[in-house]
Amino acid sequence: MGGTPKPVKNISLAEDYIHDHFPHYPMIPSSLVIEGMAQTGGLLVCEHNEFREKVVLAKIPKVTFYCDAIPGDTLTYTTTVEYIKEEGAMVTATSYKGDVLHAEAEIVFAHLNEPQLGSLFDTDMFLRMMRLLGAFDVGHAADGKPLCPPARLARTAGKKRRQRAASESTCRRQERRNQVMRRQWTQRRTF
């Protein structure tokens, strides 16, 4: 397996949801901490099968929060795979504020690989999101090398990108034609 990822979340007053959760007590909502742990665990489960499996959050049977996380705190999430089976996987996750245990959870994921389900996510969009979030800039593989997109995903995304570019080119041409026609129609009306 891919090891134990340790993403970091720096909590800042600049984040809008900090002020909206409890108006006079800025803190990160527990649901967002759970989401961070689930995303970390989901990526670890996906990595196990080189992103061949469609993985979705199925349930969170147990979660415990020991303290609040407020602006200025830095949370470090860790996840460990407990098991991976054909139908899904379970991870245990923790969130630490420095050396203090902030939260711990059990998170269950389901594999959705039935052909009738179709594609649940666009590969190109997933890779763009990972690049935008800087996952390939800050993440490291178990051997210490920088993270790289899995070759299988990069090939699939490249093919879809070329198809989308051809489609977008056709749409742009059609939009330019429509603009010309609107301009001509507007000019006729002004005389």
Q: Under a CB-based contact definition with an 8 Å cutoff, are residues 7 and 40 in contact?
A: yes
- 21 catalytic per annotation: yes
Burial (0-12, 13-18, 19+ Cβ within 10 Å), 54: middle
Q: Which two tokens stand for residue 9?
A: 């979340």
Half-sphere exposure of residue 74: CA atoms within 13 angstroms, side-chain side: 6
70 exposure class (CB count in 10 Å sphere: 0-12, 13-18, 19+): middle
Cα separation, 51 vs 57, in Å, equals 15
Pick the catalytic residue: 19, 21, 24, 111? Answer: 21
Task: Taking each helix axis as running N to C, give the angle between helix 151-190 and helix 123-132, from 0 to 180 degrees, rounded to the nearest 10.
Answer: 100
- Category of 171 on φ-ψ map: left (φ > 0), alpha (ψ -120 to 50) or beta: alpha
Look at the alpha carbons of 55, 59, 64, 69 in this order and tell me if their dihedral is positive or negative. positive
| Residues with catalytic function | 21
